[in-house]
Amino acid sequence: MTLHLTTFEGDAHGINALSDFRVQQLLPRLQAIHDKIVGISARFVHLAATDALPSEALQSKLAALLSYGAPGAAPAGKGGGDDSVLFIVSPRFGTVSPWASKATDIAHNCGLGVRRIERITEYRVSLKSGFFGKSGLTPSQHGQVADLLHDR
């Protein structure tokens, strides 16, 4: 059996997944890892698994169901859009998050033919450009940042 995966990203910037309070908590901890980190933003991205290619009507209903919360902001920070590192946080493979269980139940109660709906978080860490071009994270720094961002 083939599952079809459809991505729902909301408007141009998705649904904001990081409060100002959380940014204020995270940013100093990130800057302790690398002093060129100037900002962080996050958005929710939703994935819907269906047994068949979803019709336009189903896609429209799912898009409406998955539109909630405050719209996401443009990536934060003073660095350019190219000087950022993307981190994706999702549930462990083989598990169903409580959010997914509830969202899938709601979709089923609405009569929508989905196998599962899941929410992932896309973090964008903005870096200040270096004198000779892009700054980046070393593999060690990448791992340290990922450790701060993953769900616990």
Whole-model pTM over 0.75: yes
Query: How many folded domains does the chain comprise?
Result: 1
Q: Kindly report, residue by residue over 99-145, the tens digit of the pLDDT.
A: 999 999 999 999 999 999 999 999 999 998 766 656 688 999 999 99
> Where in the sequence is the domain holding 24, given as residue range(s)?
4-149
For residue 152, name the pLDDT band (cuts at 50, 70, 90): low
What are the phi and psi torsion angles at 107 (to 5°)?
Answer: -60, -45
Residue 104: both structure tokens together: 């899938």
Report whether 83 contacts 133 (CB < 8 A): no
pLDDT of residue 151: 64
Counting beta carbons within 10 angstroms of the beta carbon of residue 56, is it exposed (0 to 12), middle (13 to 18) or buried (19 or more)?
A: exposed
